[in-house]
Amino acid sequence: MAENQVTDVQGAPVGNTDEAPVFQIQRVYLKDLSLEQPNSPTILLEQTQPAVDIQLGVEAQPAAQGVYEVCVTATVTTKIEDRTVFLVEAKQAGIFEIRNLPQDQMGPVLGIACPQIVYPYLRASVADIITRAGFPPVHLAEINFQAMYEAQQAEAAK
């Protein structure tokens, strides 16, 4: 009696799938979002162009065996002189299943690939909340997460 063999869509035999690398997006979600307008309404009457400061961060942590949460955080501070017009803090997260990857590839996947997937959602959330607050949207620039990751690795090596 012949054994049944599992094949892929092209008909090629599939080996032991327990060892195949796995990378799947489980979920992308808005983890935290806050908006503050501490000097409203008087500052809204100002005609001066505000200064905008944007800070970004990436963090990754295990959530379960082979499952990781990656968060991209943005802090947008807009000021006229020393008075805050508005402050937005947003944390967009993703849950990723990552299995059977060599350990030397985990850092780049968690520090580059996952943030590239999550970041467009963060950009949309930030622009949306600022628009809903009555201001022209602040569009976060595209980010080269590979350069950001490499800079962090170089800084950690010092």
Handedness of CA 62, 152, 105, 142 (dihedral sign): positive
Domain of 51 in residue numbering reads as 21-136
In a domain, 3, yes or no: no
DSSP state, residue 113:
I
In a domain, 6, yes or no: no
Among the listed residues 97, 154, 98, 92, the one whose alpha carbon sits nearest the alpha carbon of residue 128? 92
Count of domains observed in the chain: 1
DSSP state, residue 89:
E
Q: What is the pLDDT of residue 156?
A: 87
In a domain, 154, yes or no: no
The ranges of the chain with pLDDT < 70 are 1-18
Pair of tokens at residue 62: 């295990």
Q: What is the pLDDT of residue 44?
A: 87
Q: What does pTM read for this prediction? A: 0.83
Among the listed residues 70, 61, 154, the one whose alpha carbon sits nearest the alpha carbon of residue 115? 70
Q: What is the pLDDT of residue 19?
A: 84
In a domain, 158, yes or no: no
In a domain, 149, yes or no: no
Q: What is the pLDDT of residue 143?
A: 93
Q: Residue 88's domain is classified under what CATH number?
A: 3.10.420.10
In a domain, 5, yes or no: no
| Token pair 């991209």 in the structure block, residue | 72
Q: What is the pLDDT of residue 158?
A: 85
In a domain, 111, yes or no: yes
In a domain, 90, yes or no: yes
